[in-house]
Structure 1
Amino acid sequence: MPEPFWHPNRIWYQAKHPLSVLLLPLSWLFCTLVKLRRFLYQKAYLRSHQAAVPIIVVGNLTVGGGGKTPMVVWLTQQLQKQGYTPGIISRGYSGQSQTWPQTVSASSDPHLVGDEPVLMAQRTNCPLVVGPNRPVAVSYLLASYPCDILISDDGLQHYPLRRDIEILMLNGHRRYGNQRCLPAGPLREPMQRISQVNFIVVGETNNKTAHAGEWSAQRLLGDAHALLNGQKTCQLSDFSGKTVHAVAGIAQPQDFFTCLSAAGIQLITHAFPDHYQYQKADLDFADDFPILMTEKDAVKCQTFASAAFWFVPLEIRLPDHFIKTVLASLHNPRNSRHG
């Protein structure tokens, strides 16, 4: 079904959309306010917290998914291989807990702490703390665990917390849309901001979409895992030519559907809002077709899973020397901390 005329995907990513033009005055106001806010933090008119250990921020310039969660998982695993003891802090978006900060484990309730933190805890097995106040979350984590480096998930615009390295994630197909700030476009900050980050990592890319100065991250779907028994796996090719229900409650569900279609799978697609809290009835399709979902959706469906439920993890692959380049930049004395 085509997206309606007023859908953000059309307003932000369609050239010269009339609603985007009408929203330009609000966009200019928003742009002015975010630039003023960053200036106040840079000049120390507003206080920012400097942690006792280095902090790597992974974030977006645009609204919506850009591959932050797979990048945080990959970066954490690479740091562990390099001998570091990393920790992760996150906002815990969609979490309904009344008490913050919260430590997240692989068995935490995603309804309380958010779906992405639970997924990251399951994939990395490293200390992870969520909370709306990131400086408080950092202090809480460092007081509880002997971490020597922290990763701030989706923290690019959270200037109360100082950072050493900024990694900007970008969707290789959508890129920056119409390059306008909210609400006329998808940008959280003006385009000038991209010149101030350390690394730009472009997901879903090939040699034609990764621009000069950007790192290309290949996005890959792993084997399917049975939700009732995560040790039971099968290759996606086993579903080739078969009809399945494809479920995705992520920022860009079509990306997941496209990857499954490329594997030759016949899809009945079900797109849900990002961070959707599933109920059993949502996935009761009254037939015997398998149900393939993202790993992020799976953490919220474990309590009512059936034998038909499978999740497909999304992974990224970066050049081997990327992590070495990040660490070299981290230890370069000329690389001053970002405000």
Structure 2
Amino acid sequence: MPKMFSKAPAFWERRGPISLLLWPLSFLFGQLLRLRKLLNEFDLRGKKTARVPIIIVGNIRVGGTGKTPIVISLAERLSELGWHPGIISRGYGADTQTAPMLVTSDSDPTLVGDEPVLIAKRTNNQFPLYVYPKRKQSIAALLHAYPEVNVIISDDGLQHSGLVRWPAREGGRDVEFVVRDQRGEGNGFLLPAGPLREPLTRERDATLIMGSAASLTAKADEYFLGRRAFTLRPHFGRPYQLNNPQAYKTLDDMSLAYSGKPGRTRITAVAAIGNPKRFFSDLEKHGLKITGIGLPDHSSFTPEFFQKIDADCILITEKDAVKCKDINDARIWVIPMHLNIPEDLLEWLQTILHRPDPNRYTL
């Protein structure tokens, strides 16, 4: 999310005086995007693509839409099918790096980003994962160190012009996924009047819808016209205690144990993710009565922050948990998020990945 907005402003969700006042800036931003696209297309044939297919999991809306669980599940399922995935990410906070860095579950999230560390932790370091703002260099470093890798998954990168690719829709074998959550596209304006980094009509090989397709906005027909879409349904895993990961409780157990007295909510949920409201809403759907504390995406935590929370139980996301490994508070429980990749998506994806390289370029 742009640094000028630590949280998504409310006017991004609907058109009103503020968004209309900022619309001329959005129009200018759109013209710059068109110019950049034209320049990239003009010079595209002079650039080299990677020697392996690239799967980009990105979004056109600023802020998190649920890309990380998709990256994890894609890597795991492709591995089960005999592929050897590698993963690249920009890495929030990795601007001080001078070269691509291999991420493991023990890496410092303040240096490489919380999402890459979460991916490494959830996959038990099974897949080589490199972070660097220049993704082309990450790919080169990854393939040099791990020549057995035959497909790369990019966590975000749709707007990264240095990541050269020929998408499947153009006859290539690279795949561009646009992830869409239940917020939709807000007021439909580009930054800064709205939440979009690219126009609503941005090309993509497929749209991945996080949650129920029944809650799509009225713009759904326009948004999906002539495009492939798959619905993914994330679900909570079994909560575990932050300072004792071998200790588990079910959400039903928590609801019974912390039902609270009239007038008091004994559970506080904390989330520093792109869409905290989704986390809180999903908890409430499981029957939990919570007080929600939403923070800007990628916020860090201190022991003092949690000490000030008056609650018997504190629930956090796995993404936030990787930044709390030095915090010893028995009240904190981590809620993992999982999702399953639909079989029809995997079947379609494999037909693309098995295509012969149409360009025979090497990175």
Same fold (TM over 0.5): yes
Matches within 5 A, 1:154-165: 154-163=156-165, 164-165=174-175
Partner Cα distance (2:230, 2:268) in 1: 33
Aligned equivalents of 1:262 and 1:190: distance in 2? 33
Which moved further from structure 2: 54-63 or 92-101?
92-101
Structure 1 CA distance for aligned equivalents of residues 60 and 122 of structure 2? 25
Structure 1 window deviating more from structure 2 (23-32 vs 42-51): it is 42-51
After TM superposition, the structure 1 stretch with the greater mean CA deviation from structure 2, 128-137 or 218-227, is 218-227
Corresponding residue number in structure 1 for 2:180: 170
Determine the C-alpha separation between the residues in 1 that align with 2:43 and 2:90: 23
- 1:27–1:181 contact (8 Å) kept in structure 2: yes
CA shift, 1:270, in A, is: 1.6
Is the alpha carbon distance of 1:47 and 1:27 closer, same or farther for their aligned partners in structure 2, counting shifts above 3 Å? Answer: farther
Q: Determine helix, strand or coil for the equivalent of 2:326.
A: helix
2:55·2:153 contact (CA, 8 Å) conserved in 1? yes
1:275 aligns with 2:298: yes
Does the 8 A contact of 1:96 with 1:111 survive in 2? no
TM-superposed CA distance for 1:335, in Å, is 8.5
Give a deviation string over 1:178-216, Cα, whole Å, max 9, x none: 2111111111111221xx211100112244539564211
In the alignment of these two chains, the number of paired residues is 327
Counterpart position of 2:143: 142
Paired position in structure 1 for 2:248 = 233
**Displacement, 1:95?**
3.7
Q: TM (normalized to structure 1)? A: 0.90
Matches within 5 A, 1:68-83: 68-83=67-82
Give the alignment partner of residue 196 of structure 2, picking from 169, 177, 187: 187
In the alignment, the residues of structure 2 paired with residue 52 and residue 12 of structure 1 have an alpha-carbon distance, to the nearest angstrom, of 40
Superposed displacement of residue 279, structure 1:
1.4
User: What do the CA deviations read for 1:96-133 (whole angstroms, capped 9, x no partner)?
Assistant: 65443111001111111110000011112210000011
- Within the candidate set 218, 224, 231, 1:216 is matched to 231
Give the % identical residues. 40
What are the superposed Cα offsets for residues 7-64 of structure 1, whole Å, 9 maximum, x if unpaired? 74421112x3111101111001100111211221122169644111111101001101
Confirm or deny: 8 A CA contact 2:25 2:193 kept in the other structure: yes
Separation in 2 of the partners of 1:238 and 1:96? 42
In structure 2, runs of 5+ residues without a counterpart are 1-6, 166-173, 259-265
- In 1, the alpha carbon distance for the partners of 2:86 and 2:120 equals 10
Q: TM-score, normalised by structure 2?
A: 0.84
Counterparts of 1:314 and 1:43, CA distance in 2: 42
SS at match of 1:215: strand
Give the C-alpha shift of residue 220 in structure 1: 0.8
Cα offsets for 1:232-271 (capped at 9, x unmatched): 2221111115221211000111111111111111212221
Instruction: Give the unaligned 5+ runs of structure 1.
Output: 1-6
- Say whether residues 1:12 and 2:6 are aligned partners: no
C-alpha distance in 1 between matches for 2:47 and 2:306: 44
Paired position in structure 1 for 2:24: 25
User: Does the 8 Å CA contact 1:49/1:135 hold for their aligned counterparts?
Assistant: no
RMSD: 2.2
Find the aligned partners of 1:295 and 1:18 in 2 and give their Cα distance. 38
Which of 147, 152, 177 is 2:154 aligned to?
Answer: 152
CA contact (8 A) 1:47 1:160 kept: no
Q: CA shift at 1:286, angstroms?
A: 5.7
Give me the whole-angstrom Cα distance separating, in 2, the residues matched to 1:312 and 1:155: 27
Cα distance per residue 1:126-173 (max 9 Å; x no partner): 1000001111111111111121110111111112112311011001x2
More displaced stretch, 223-232 vs 180-189: 223-232
Does the aligned pair in 1 maintain the 2:52–2:150 contact within 8 Å?
yes
